[in-house]
Structure 1
Amino acid sequence: MHLIVGLGNIGEQYQLTRHNVGFLVIDEITKSLQSSNINKSNFKADVLKAGYNLYVKPTTYMNNSGQAVVAIKDYYKIDMEDIIVIHDDLDLPFGTVKFKVGGGHGGHNGLRSLDSHIGKDYIRVRIGIGKPEDKSQVANYVLSNFSKEELNKLEGIITHTIKAIEALKSEEIDEVKSKFTLK
């Protein structure tokens, strides 16, 4: 079983923000799946089950995402190598898609929460959102909406990311990196 987690914040005001790119990918994946909702209050997440996959959007807000993921991971006894986390990455230019296992959180509070609850050895799908010129504006930047130009490009980026996630379910990460890294 794979646990595919999109990081983001709940609430309509955050729907199209840069920080919610993980949620946007999960929303697009699950649109066309035959799935069922799993309602367990201790999960603190929206969870859809489709085949042997769980698609998760934590409802804890970004900074506490680890609480939701650890509850689901432990309940279903999911191995670390079967956890795929999709998140925004300030250190990558907009539109870049990269993959890795482990590593630091790079100041990303959602990853910091995951690392403290489940460890670091999960698969990361990093989607570049760029960064503001003024580093003091990072919080405002990640919580701002994508520009119209970015939104036009985002559909293709999400489609590409979904293909990569499908490949990650059955292929080694190095193979996926060589096929699906977008720069």
Structure 2
Amino acid sequence: MKFLIVGLGNIGPEYALTRHNAGFMVLDRMAAQHGFTFSMTRLAYTAKWQYKGKQLFFVKPTTYMNLSGKAVQYYMKQENIPLENVLIVTDDKDLPFGKLRLKPKGSPGGHNGLRNIDELLTSQEYARLRVGIGNNFSKGRQIDFVLGQFPEDEMIQLPDYLDRAGDAVLAFCTMGIQNAMNNYNQ
């Protein structure tokens, strides 16, 4: 069984540790822990890894956040992965830092990366793991906040948080969405 795990983010060193790159950060942490590596391919950095009899195909789109759907659509077709085996890992400003929310479907909730995926897949029926980044910004400062780096106190907690998110990804692939939700939604 094959799964497509897509971490959303923006490429380039200026975005590396920003809140909006939480999806990339989860996949990078998983790669470091489990020993797989990403390679530059069409529209994305990709990696393959076998886990408990499942083939996991990881994608970090190089299209920038607002065009993430191009890579999702391409690799679903390229790897012949059905929509029910797709998981999008993304930041969520409506969840406090440290909270995870795994859902089987949903709206983009103002997230341009998810909006583009919805448009290109013509569906909202795909799983998403929302990684809470908080919303400690004043009116009109949302872009600066999501493209800003985590403060020092959150950076200290970040490795454990990314580990939990990675565990939720693996639970989705091995236990199914309902059991994974029961274990990781707080």
TM-score range, shorter chain: over 0.9
Residues 167 and 176 of structure 1 are in contact (CA less than 8 Å); yes or no, is this contact kept in structure 2?
A: yes
1:13 aligned partner: 14
Aligned residue identity for 1:30: A
Q: Structure 2 counterpart of 1:111, which letter?
A: L
Equivalent position amino acid for 1:80 in 2:
L
Matched positions, count: 180
Choose 128-137 or 63-72, whichever is displaced more.
128-137
Residues 94, 35 of structure 1: alpha-carbon distance in 2 compared, 3 angstrom cutoff: closer
Q: Which residue of 2 aligns with 1:156?
A: 160
C-alpha separation in 2, matches of 1:85 and 1:129? 16
Q: Say whether residues 1:23 and 2:27 are aligned partners.
A: no
Calculate percent identity across the aligned residue pairs.
37
TM superposition score normalised by structure 1: 0.93
Deviation at 1:49, TM superposition (A): 1.1
Tell me if the contact between 1:22 and 1:87 (Cα under 8 Å) persists in the aligned partners. yes
Using the TM superposition, give the Cα deviation of residue 74 of structure 1 relative to its aligned residue in structure 2, in angstroms: 0.9
Q: How far apart in 2 are the matches of 1:59 and 1:40?
A: 9
Decide which of 43, 59, 63 is 1:60's aligned counterpart.
63
> Partner of 2:75 in structure 1?
72
Q: Which string of whole-angstrom CA distances, capped at 9 and with x for unpartnered residues, describes residues 86-127 of structure 1?
A: 100011111110110211101100100111112211111011
Query: Which residue number in structure 1 is paired with residue 175 of structure 2?
Result: 171
CA distance in 2 between counterparts of 1:23 and 1:56 reads 9
Alignment correspondent of 2:97: 94
Q: Residue 128 of structure 2 corresponds to which residue in structure 1?
A: 124
The match for 1:139 is 143
Tell me the equivalent position of 2:45. Answer: 46
User: More deviation in 146-155 or 26-35?
Assistant: 26-35
Measured in 1, the distance between the counterparts of 2:13 and 2:60 equals 14
Q: Is the 8 A contact 2:102 2:130 kept in 1?
A: yes
Deviation of 1:133 after TM superposition, in Å, equals: 4.0
Name the aligned partner's letter for residue 114 of structure 2: L
Shift of 1:38: 5.8
Structure 2: 5+ residue stretches without partners: none
Alignment check: 8 A CA contact 1:80 1:121 kept: yes
Q: How far did 1:33 drift? A: 3.5
Q: CA RMSD in A?
A: 1.5
Unaligned runs of 5+ in 1: none
**Partners in 2 of 1:72 and 1:137 — Cα distance?**
34
User: Equivalents in 1 of 2:66, 2:89: separation in Å?
Assistant: 15
SS at match of 1:107: coil
The whole-number CA distance in structure 1 between the counterparts of 2:39 and 2:99 is: 32
Q: Determine if contact 1:38/1:49 at 8 Å carries over to the other structure.
A: no
